[in-house]
Structure 1
Protein backbone atom coordinates (compact mmCIF):
# COMPACT_ATOMS: atom_id res chain seq x y z
CA UNK A 1 0.00 0.00 0.00
CA UNK A 2 1.20 3.49 -0.84
CA UNK A 3 2.97 5.04 2.18
CA UNK A 4 1.06 8.30 1.60
CA UNK A 5 -2.34 6.60 1.59
CA UNK A 6 -3.30 7.24 5.23
CA UNK A 7 -2.25 10.90 5.53
CA UNK A 8 -4.23 11.73 2.44
CA UNK A 9 -7.83 12.68 2.73
CA UNK A 10 -9.83 11.96 -0.37
CA UNK A 11 -13.39 13.07 -0.24
CA UNK A 12 -15.42 11.60 -3.04
CA UNK A 13 -18.88 12.97 -3.45
CA UNK A 14 -21.54 10.66 -4.81
CA UNK A 15 -21.57 9.94 -8.48
CA UNK A 16 -24.51 11.65 -10.05
CA UNK A 17 -26.23 11.70 -13.37
CA UNK A 18 -25.74 14.87 -15.38
CA UNK A 19 -29.24 16.09 -14.55
CA UNK A 20 -28.24 17.22 -11.07
CA UNK A 21 -29.47 20.63 -9.87
CA UNK A 22 -26.02 22.23 -9.86
CA UNK A 23 -24.71 20.82 -13.12
CA UNK A 24 -22.74 23.21 -15.27
CA UNK A 25 -22.12 23.49 -18.97
CA UNK A 26 -18.60 22.47 -19.80
CA UNK A 27 -17.09 24.66 -22.54
CA UNK A 28 -15.94 22.74 -25.58
CA UNK A 29 -17.95 19.58 -24.91
CA UNK A 30 -20.38 18.51 -27.60
CA UNK A 31 -23.93 17.75 -26.50
CA UNK A 32 -24.40 14.04 -25.92
CA UNK A 33 -27.61 13.31 -27.79
CA UNK A 34 -27.50 9.54 -27.31
CA UNK A 35 -26.94 9.74 -23.54
CA UNK A 36 -29.90 9.56 -21.20
CA UNK A 37 -29.75 12.50 -18.80
CA UNK A 38 -32.16 11.15 -16.16
CA UNK A 39 -32.56 7.38 -16.46
CA UNK A 40 -35.09 5.61 -14.25
CA UNK A 41 -32.26 3.43 -12.87
CA UNK A 42 -28.78 4.97 -12.67
CA UNK A 43 -25.62 3.06 -13.53
CA UNK A 44 -24.04 1.21 -10.61
CA UNK A 45 -20.49 0.08 -9.95
CA UNK A 46 -20.31 -3.54 -8.71
CA UNK A 47 -19.96 -3.32 -4.94
CA UNK A 48 -21.32 0.22 -4.87
CA UNK A 49 -19.80 3.65 -4.76
CA UNK A 50 -17.27 2.73 -2.05
CA UNK A 51 -15.87 -0.01 -4.30
CA UNK A 52 -15.49 2.55 -7.10
CA UNK A 53 -13.69 4.97 -4.76
CA UNK A 54 -11.39 2.14 -3.62
CA UNK A 55 -10.45 1.42 -7.27
CA UNK A 56 -9.62 5.09 -7.83
CA UNK A 57 -7.52 5.23 -4.65
CA UNK A 58 -5.69 2.03 -5.60
CA UNK A 59 -4.71 3.62 -8.93
CA UNK A 60 -3.99 7.17 -7.70
CA UNK A 61 -0.28 7.71 -6.99
CA UNK A 62 0.57 10.57 -4.66
CA UNK A 63 4.41 10.62 -4.52
CA UNK A 64 4.77 12.83 -7.64
CA UNK A 65 2.26 15.29 -6.17
CA UNK A 66 4.07 15.36 -2.83
CA UNK A 67 7.37 15.92 -4.63
CA UNK A 68 5.80 18.84 -6.52
CA UNK A 69 4.55 20.26 -3.20
CA UNK A 70 0.89 19.98 -4.19
CA UNK A 71 -1.01 19.62 -0.94
CA UNK A 72 -4.53 20.66 -1.96
CA UNK A 73 -6.45 20.35 -5.18
CA UNK A 74 -9.88 19.76 -6.63
CA UNK A 75 -10.86 18.09 -9.87
CA UNK A 76 -14.09 16.89 -11.44
CA UNK A 77 -14.26 14.05 -13.94
CA UNK A 78 -17.08 13.04 -16.24
CA UNK A 79 -17.49 9.80 -18.13
CA UNK A 80 -20.08 7.77 -19.97
CA UNK A 81 -21.22 4.35 -18.80
CA UNK A 82 -22.29 2.69 -22.05
CA UNK A 83 -24.94 0.00 -22.53
CA UNK A 84 -22.28 -2.70 -22.04
CA UNK A 85 -21.12 -1.22 -18.71
CA UNK A 86 -17.84 0.24 -20.00
CA UNK A 87 -16.50 3.59 -18.83
CA UNK A 88 -15.92 5.64 -21.98
CA UNK A 89 -15.24 9.25 -22.93
CA UNK A 90 -13.43 9.94 -19.63
CA UNK A 91 -12.66 13.64 -19.27
CA UNK A 92 -11.56 16.00 -16.55
CA UNK A 93 -13.96 18.94 -16.78
CA UNK A 94 -12.26 21.11 -14.15
CA UNK A 95 -9.04 20.98 -12.12
CA UNK A 96 -6.64 23.14 -10.13
CA UNK A 97 -3.30 21.46 -10.92
CA UNK A 98 -2.23 19.76 -14.14
CA UNK A 99 -0.48 16.95 -12.24
CA UNK A 100 -3.63 16.17 -10.22
CA UNK A 101 -5.65 16.25 -13.44
CA UNK A 102 -3.27 13.82 -15.13
CA UNK A 103 -3.14 11.45 -12.15
CA UNK A 104 -6.94 11.45 -11.70
CA UNK A 105 -7.45 10.79 -15.42
CA UNK A 106 -4.88 7.96 -15.36
CA UNK A 107 -6.47 6.42 -12.25
CA UNK A 108 -9.93 6.45 -13.86
CA UNK A 109 -8.69 5.01 -17.17
CA UNK A 110 -7.05 2.10 -15.32
CA UNK A 111 -10.44 0.92 -14.02
CA UNK A 112 -11.58 -1.93 -16.26
CA UNK A 113 -14.41 -3.25 -14.06
CA UNK A 114 -17.70 -3.15 -15.94
CA UNK A 115 -20.56 -1.17 -14.47
CA UNK A 116 -24.19 -2.23 -14.33
CA UNK A 117 -25.61 0.07 -17.03
CA UNK A 118 -28.36 2.61 -16.44
CA UNK A 119 -31.86 1.71 -17.54
CA UNK A 120 -34.79 3.59 -18.97
CA UNK A 121 -38.09 1.74 -19.44
CA UNK A 122 -36.33 -1.59 -18.91
CA UNK A 123 -33.76 -0.92 -21.65
CA UNK A 124 -30.05 -0.39 -21.01
CA UNK A 125 -28.98 3.16 -21.89
CA UNK A 126 -25.81 5.23 -21.91
CA UNK A 127 -25.52 7.64 -19.01
CA UNK A 128 -23.23 10.51 -18.11
CA UNK A 129 -21.58 10.28 -14.70
CA UNK A 130 -19.67 12.90 -12.70
CA UNK A 131 -17.00 12.19 -10.06
CA UNK A 132 -15.53 15.02 -7.97
CA UNK A 133 -12.18 14.69 -6.20
CA UNK A 134 -10.85 16.75 -3.30
CA UNK A 135 -7.17 16.12 -2.60
CA UNK A 136 -5.81 17.34 0.74
CA UNK A 137 -2.50 16.43 2.42
CA UNK A 138 -2.86 18.83 5.34
Structure 2
Protein backbone atom coordinates (compact mmCIF):
# COMPACT_ATOMS: atom_id res chain seq x y z
CA UNK A 1 0.00 0.00 0.00
CA UNK A 2 1.38 3.37 -1.01
CA UNK A 3 0.54 6.61 0.79
CA UNK A 4 0.88 10.06 -0.70
CA UNK A 5 -0.01 13.63 0.12
CA UNK A 6 -1.06 16.22 -2.43
CA UNK A 7 -1.09 19.94 -1.63
CA UNK A 8 -2.64 22.88 -3.41
CA UNK A 9 -3.78 26.35 -2.40
CA UNK A 10 -6.96 28.35 -2.71
CA UNK A 11 -7.16 31.94 -1.43
CA UNK A 12 -10.23 33.36 0.37
CA UNK A 13 -12.48 30.41 -0.44
CA UNK A 14 -14.39 27.65 1.27
CA UNK A 15 -15.64 24.22 0.23
CA UNK A 16 -18.73 22.13 0.75
CA UNK A 17 -20.31 19.11 -0.88
CA UNK A 18 -23.59 19.54 -2.67
CA UNK A 19 -25.89 18.04 -5.26
CA UNK A 20 -28.32 19.45 -7.78
CA UNK A 21 -31.03 21.73 -6.33
CA UNK A 22 -29.45 21.67 -2.84
CA UNK A 23 -30.04 24.70 -0.64
CA UNK A 24 -26.82 26.04 0.87
CA UNK A 25 -26.52 28.85 3.42
CA UNK A 26 -23.70 31.40 3.38
CA UNK A 27 -22.33 33.94 5.85
CA UNK A 28 -21.27 37.59 5.51
CA UNK A 29 -17.76 36.37 4.69
CA UNK A 30 -19.10 34.31 1.76
CA UNK A 31 -18.51 31.00 3.52
CA UNK A 32 -21.04 28.19 3.55
CA UNK A 33 -22.45 27.90 7.06
CA UNK A 34 -25.38 26.79 9.22
CA UNK A 35 -28.73 28.47 8.70
CA UNK A 36 -28.56 30.25 12.06
CA UNK A 37 -25.38 32.11 11.00
CA UNK A 38 -26.46 32.88 7.43
CA UNK A 39 -27.20 36.14 5.63
CA UNK A 40 -28.52 34.28 2.60
CA UNK A 41 -28.97 30.97 0.81
CA UNK A 42 -28.16 29.45 -2.59
CA UNK A 43 -29.94 27.15 -5.05
CA UNK A 44 -28.69 25.44 -8.22
CA UNK A 45 -30.73 24.73 -11.34
CA UNK A 46 -29.65 22.75 -14.38
CA UNK A 47 -30.69 24.96 -17.32
CA UNK A 48 -29.42 22.80 -20.17
CA UNK A 49 -26.80 20.14 -20.85
CA UNK A 50 -24.01 22.70 -20.39
CA UNK A 51 -25.06 25.54 -18.09
CA UNK A 52 -26.03 25.57 -14.42
CA UNK A 53 -27.87 28.56 -13.00
CA UNK A 54 -26.71 29.72 -9.57
CA UNK A 55 -29.30 31.73 -7.64
CA UNK A 56 -28.43 33.46 -4.35
CA UNK A 57 -31.11 34.90 -2.07
CA UNK A 58 -31.09 37.16 0.97
CA UNK A 59 -32.69 35.66 4.06
CA UNK A 60 -35.76 37.80 3.33
CA UNK A 61 -36.07 35.63 0.17
CA UNK A 62 -35.34 38.51 -2.19
CA UNK A 63 -32.93 37.66 -5.00
CA UNK A 64 -29.30 38.52 -4.21
CA UNK A 65 -27.59 37.32 -7.40
CA UNK A 66 -28.10 35.08 -10.41
CA UNK A 67 -25.34 33.77 -12.64
CA UNK A 68 -24.35 30.82 -14.81
CA UNK A 69 -21.53 28.30 -14.79
CA UNK A 70 -20.53 25.14 -16.65
CA UNK A 71 -19.52 23.12 -13.58
CA UNK A 72 -21.04 22.86 -10.11
CA UNK A 73 -19.18 25.24 -7.76
CA UNK A 74 -16.76 23.70 -5.29
CA UNK A 75 -16.92 26.82 -3.10
CA UNK A 76 -18.90 30.05 -2.78
CA UNK A 77 -17.04 31.68 -5.66
CA UNK A 78 -17.67 29.96 -8.96
CA UNK A 79 -16.46 30.13 -12.55
CA UNK A 80 -18.98 32.49 -14.14
CA UNK A 81 -20.08 32.17 -17.74
CA UNK A 82 -22.60 34.46 -19.42
CA UNK A 83 -24.98 36.98 -17.84
CA UNK A 84 -24.63 37.93 -14.18
CA UNK A 85 -26.97 40.11 -12.09
CA UNK A 86 -26.56 41.16 -8.46
CA UNK A 87 -29.10 42.90 -6.22
CA UNK A 88 -29.14 44.92 -2.99
CA UNK A 89 -31.12 43.55 -0.04
CA UNK A 90 -33.91 46.00 -0.89
CA UNK A 91 -34.34 44.30 -4.28
CA UNK A 92 -32.72 47.07 -6.36
CA UNK A 93 -30.31 45.99 -9.11
CA UNK A 94 -26.67 46.46 -8.03
CA UNK A 95 -24.72 45.08 -11.00
CA UNK A 96 -25.39 43.88 -14.54
CA UNK A 97 -22.49 42.25 -16.39
CA UNK A 98 -21.31 39.44 -18.65
CA UNK A 99 -18.54 36.89 -18.06
CA UNK A 100 -16.48 34.81 -20.48
CA UNK A 101 -14.44 32.03 -18.88
CA UNK A 102 -14.84 33.73 -15.45
CA UNK A 103 -13.55 37.09 -16.68
CA UNK A 104 -15.65 40.22 -17.13
CA UNK A 105 -16.30 40.91 -20.80
CA UNK A 106 -18.08 43.79 -22.49
CA UNK A 107 -20.13 46.42 -20.67
CA UNK A 108 -20.53 46.24 -16.91
CA UNK A 109 -23.04 48.52 -15.17
CA UNK A 110 -23.11 49.32 -11.45
CA UNK A 111 -26.01 51.01 -9.65
CA UNK A 112 -26.69 52.89 -6.41
CA UNK A 113 -29.17 51.59 -3.83
CA UNK A 114 -31.69 54.15 -5.10
CA UNK A 115 -31.60 52.53 -8.53
CA UNK A 116 -29.65 55.30 -10.30
CA UNK A 117 -26.68 54.38 -12.49
CA UNK A 118 -23.33 54.69 -10.69
CA UNK A 119 -20.72 53.54 -13.20
CA UNK A 120 -20.38 51.88 -16.59
CA UNK A 121 -17.14 50.04 -17.36
CA UNK A 122 -16.07 48.32 -20.57
CA UNK A 123 -13.91 45.18 -20.27
CA UNK A 124 -11.95 44.21 -23.38
CA UNK A 125 -10.94 40.81 -21.98
CA UNK A 126 -7.83 40.97 -24.21
CA UNK A 127 -4.28 40.12 -23.16
CA UNK A 128 -1.30 42.40 -23.83
CA UNK A 129 2.18 41.28 -24.94
CA UNK A 130 2.93 40.19 -21.36
CA UNK A 131 -0.26 38.08 -21.30
CA UNK A 132 -1.81 40.44 -18.75
CA UNK A 133 -5.44 41.47 -19.11
CA UNK A 134 -5.80 45.03 -20.37
CA UNK A 135 -7.24 47.41 -17.73
CA UNK A 136 -10.98 48.11 -17.98
CA UNK A 137 -12.20 51.32 -19.59
CA UNK A 138 -14.31 53.42 -17.20
CA UNK A 139 -16.83 55.00 -19.56
CA UNK A 140 -19.17 56.88 -17.19
CA UNK A 141 -19.44 57.75 -13.51
CA UNK A 142 -22.44 59.40 -11.84
CA UNK A 143 -23.17 60.56 -8.29
CA UNK A 144 -26.21 59.32 -6.33
CA UNK A 145 -28.21 62.41 -7.33
CA UNK A 146 -27.83 61.69 -11.03
CA UNK A 147 -25.06 64.20 -11.82
CA UNK A 148 -22.54 62.91 -14.36
CA UNK A 149 -18.91 63.11 -13.21
CA UNK A 150 -17.15 61.18 -15.97
CA UNK A 151 -18.21 61.14 -19.62
CA UNK A 152 -16.66 59.09 -22.43
CA UNK A 153 -13.76 58.19 -20.14
CA UNK A 154 -12.82 61.72 -19.05
CA UNK A 155 -13.57 63.61 -15.84
CA UNK A 156 -12.94 64.03 -12.12
CA UNK A 157 -14.65 61.43 -10.00
CA UNK A 158 -15.60 61.02 -6.35
CA UNK A 159 -16.85 57.50 -5.77
CA UNK A 160 -17.41 54.85 -3.12
CA UNK A 161 -15.45 51.63 -3.53
CA UNK A 162 -17.62 48.80 -2.16
CA UNK A 163 -14.81 46.26 -2.14
CA UNK A 164 -12.57 48.49 -0.02
CA UNK A 165 -15.36 50.22 1.92
CA UNK A 166 -13.56 53.45 1.04
CA UNK A 167 -14.31 56.81 -0.53
CA UNK A 168 -11.95 57.60 -3.43
CA UNK A 169 -11.48 60.58 -5.71
CA UNK A 170 -9.29 61.35 -8.70
CA UNK A 171 -9.12 61.81 -12.45
CA UNK A 172 -9.95 59.49 -15.35
CA UNK A 173 -8.27 60.10 -18.69
CA UNK A 174 -9.23 57.92 -21.64
CA UNK A 175 -11.12 55.65 -19.25
CA UNK A 176 -8.13 54.97 -16.98
CA UNK A 177 -7.03 56.27 -13.61
CA UNK A 178 -4.42 58.96 -14.06
CA UNK A 179 -2.40 61.39 -11.98
CA UNK A 180 -3.22 61.45 -8.24
CA UNK A 181 -5.97 59.46 -6.53
CA UNK A 182 -6.79 59.79 -2.83
CA UNK A 183 -8.92 57.60 -0.62
CA UNK A 184 -9.97 56.95 2.94
CA UNK A 185 -11.60 53.89 4.52
CA UNK A 186 -14.93 54.62 6.18
CA UNK A 187 -13.66 53.21 9.49
CA UNK A 188 -10.97 55.91 9.42
CA UNK A 189 -8.10 53.46 9.91
CA UNK A 190 -6.25 54.31 6.72
CA UNK A 191 -6.09 57.14 4.20
CA UNK A 192 -3.93 57.06 1.11
CA UNK A 193 -2.57 59.04 -1.84
CA UNK A 194 -1.56 57.18 -5.00
CA UNK A 195 0.01 58.03 -8.35
CA UNK A 196 -1.23 56.48 -11.58
CA UNK A 197 -0.15 56.80 -15.21
CA UNK A 198 -2.55 55.62 -17.91
CA UNK A 199 -4.18 53.22 -15.49
CA UNK A 200 -0.94 51.81 -14.11
CA UNK A 201 -0.28 52.15 -10.38
CA UNK A 202 3.12 53.80 -9.76
CA UNK A 203 3.49 54.35 -6.02
CA UNK A 204 1.53 55.32 -2.96
CA UNK A 205 1.74 56.68 0.57
CA UNK A 206 -0.74 55.99 3.36
CA UNK A 207 -1.34 57.21 6.91
CA UNK A 208 -3.18 55.41 9.69
CA UNK A 209 -5.03 56.91 12.66
CA UNK A 210 -1.89 56.64 14.83
CA UNK A 211 0.08 58.94 12.54
CA UNK A 212 2.23 56.19 11.03
CA UNK A 213 3.22 56.66 7.37
CA UNK A 214 3.68 53.83 4.87
CA UNK A 215 5.28 54.02 1.42
CA UNK A 216 4.44 51.23 -0.99
CA UNK A 217 4.94 50.14 -4.60
CA UNK A 218 2.32 47.39 -4.50
CA UNK A 219 -1.23 47.96 -3.32
CA UNK A 220 -1.58 44.41 -1.99
CA UNK A 221 1.04 41.90 -0.90
CA UNK A 222 -0.15 38.40 -0.05
CA UNK A 223 1.06 36.54 3.02
CA UNK A 224 3.74 34.03 2.02
CA UNK A 225 5.48 31.10 3.66
CA UNK A 226 9.15 32.01 4.10
CA UNK A 227 11.04 30.53 1.16
CA UNK A 228 7.95 30.31 -1.00
CA UNK A 229 5.64 27.46 -2.02
CA UNK A 230 8.48 25.00 -2.58
CA UNK A 231 9.59 25.36 1.05
CA UNK A 232 6.00 25.07 2.23
CA UNK A 233 5.56 21.83 0.25
CA UNK A 234 8.80 20.55 1.75
CA UNK A 235 7.81 21.52 5.30
CA UNK A 236 4.40 19.87 5.11
CA UNK A 237 5.75 16.79 3.37
CA UNK A 238 8.25 16.37 6.22
CA UNK A 239 5.83 17.02 9.07
CA UNK A 240 2.52 15.55 7.89
CA UNK A 241 1.75 11.96 8.94
CA UNK A 242 -1.08 9.73 7.76
CA UNK A 243 -2.95 8.66 10.95
CA UNK A 244 -2.76 4.91 11.66
CA UNK A 245 -6.48 4.50 12.35
CA UNK A 246 -7.33 6.18 9.04
CA UNK A 247 -4.94 3.82 7.23
CA UNK A 248 -6.53 0.79 8.87
CA UNK A 249 -10.00 2.04 7.96
CA UNK A 250 -8.75 2.86 4.46
CA UNK A 251 -10.10 6.38 4.80
CA UNK A 252 -8.76 9.00 2.43
CA UNK A 253 -9.86 12.36 1.12
CA UNK A 254 -9.20 16.06 0.95
CA UNK A 255 -9.27 18.18 4.11
CA UNK A 256 -9.84 21.92 3.61
CA UNK A 257 -8.37 23.99 6.42
CA UNK A 258 -8.95 27.71 6.79
CA UNK A 259 -6.69 29.87 8.95
CA UNK A 260 -5.44 33.38 9.50
CA UNK A 261 -1.86 34.55 8.96
CA UNK A 262 -1.45 37.26 11.60
CA UNK A 263 0.55 40.45 11.30
CA UNK A 264 3.53 38.80 13.05
CA UNK A 265 3.50 35.72 10.80
CA UNK A 266 1.83 33.49 13.38
CA UNK A 267 -1.18 31.27 12.64
CA UNK A 268 -4.55 31.69 14.38
CA UNK A 269 -8.21 30.76 13.96
CA UNK A 270 -7.60 27.37 12.34
CA UNK A 271 -10.64 25.29 11.48
CA UNK A 272 -11.75 22.63 9.03
CA UNK A 273 -14.19 23.73 6.35
CA UNK A 274 -15.04 20.27 5.04
CA UNK A 275 -14.51 17.31 7.36
CA UNK A 276 -13.28 13.98 5.99
CA UNK A 277 -12.40 11.96 9.11
CA UNK A 278 -11.62 13.10 12.68
CA UNK A 279 -8.05 11.83 12.53
CA UNK A 280 -7.33 13.38 9.13
CA UNK A 281 -8.91 16.67 10.24
CA UNK A 282 -6.80 16.69 13.40
CA UNK A 283 -3.57 15.97 11.51
CA UNK A 284 -4.26 18.68 8.93
CA UNK A 285 -4.83 21.25 11.70
CA UNK A 286 -1.74 20.06 13.54
CA UNK A 287 0.61 20.51 10.60
CA UNK A 288 -0.78 24.00 9.88
CA UNK A 289 -0.11 24.97 13.51
CA UNK A 290 3.53 23.96 13.03
CA UNK A 291 3.91 26.58 10.28
CA UNK A 292 3.24 29.39 12.78
CA UNK A 293 5.87 32.18 12.76
CA UNK A 294 7.21 30.83 9.46
CA UNK A 295 5.16 33.26 7.34
CA UNK A 296 5.85 36.70 5.96
CA UNK A 297 2.63 38.62 6.75
CA UNK A 298 0.44 40.25 4.13
CA UNK A 299 0.24 43.98 3.49
CA UNK A 300 -2.43 46.33 2.23
CA UNK A 301 -1.22 49.75 1.09
CA UNK A 302 2.01 49.29 3.04
CA UNK A 303 0.32 48.33 6.30
CA UNK A 304 0.50 44.85 7.83
CA UNK A 305 -2.86 43.06 7.73
CA UNK A 306 -4.40 39.75 8.79
CA UNK A 307 -4.86 37.45 5.80
CA UNK A 308 -7.25 34.51 5.47
CA UNK A 309 -5.85 31.42 3.79
CA UNK A 310 -7.64 28.26 2.70
CA UNK A 311 -5.46 25.23 2.11
CA UNK A 312 -6.69 21.86 0.90
CA UNK A 313 -4.59 18.79 1.77
CA UNK A 314 -5.34 15.45 0.13
CA UNK A 315 -4.66 12.19 1.97
CA UNK A 316 -4.55 9.44 -0.64
CA UNK A 317 -4.08 5.68 -0.25
CA UNK A 318 -2.82 4.11 -3.47
Give the structure-1-normalised TM-score: 0.74
- Which stretches in structure 2 are left out of the alignment for 5+ residues? 15-28, 38-163, 165-218
Aligned pairs, number: 121
In angstroms, what is the RMSD of aligned CA positions?
2.6
Distance of aligned partners of 1:52 and 1:15 in 2 relative to their CA distance in 1, 3 Å threshold: farther
Contact 1:73 / 1:95 at 8 angstroms: preserved in 2? no
Distance of aligned partners of 1:40 and 1:127 in 2 relative to their CA distance in 1, 3 Å threshold: same
> How many Å apart are 1:95 and its aligned residue?
2.0
User: Matched residues in 1 for 2:315 and 2:13: separation?
Assistant: 25
Q: Which residue of 2 aligns with 1:52?
A: 232
Contact 2:13 / 2:31 at 8 angstroms: preserved in 1? no
Q: Which residue of 2 aligns with 1:67?
A: 248
Moved beyond 3 Å, runs of 4+: none
Greater C-alpha Rg: 2
Larger strand percent: 2
Q: Which residue of 1 aligns with 2:8?
A: 13
Larger helix percent: 1
> How many Å apart are 1:67 and its aligned residue?
2.6
Larger relative CO (CA 8 A, sep 6+): 1 or 2? 1
- Which stretches in structure 1 are left out of the alignment for 5+ residues? 31-35
> How many Å apart are 1:59 and its aligned residue?
2.2
Give the structure-2-normalised TM-score: 0.35
Q: Which residue of 2 aligns with 1:88?
A: 268
Distance of aligned partners of 1:100 and 1:63 in 2 relative to their CA distance in 1, 3 Å threshold: closer
Is 1:136 the counterpart of 2:142? The answer is: no
* Cα shift readout 1:15-59 (whole Å, capped 9, x = no counterpart): 42x169xx951426x8xxxxx9xx711001011112122222222
User: Matched residues in 1 for 2:255 and 2:301: separation?
Assistant: 33
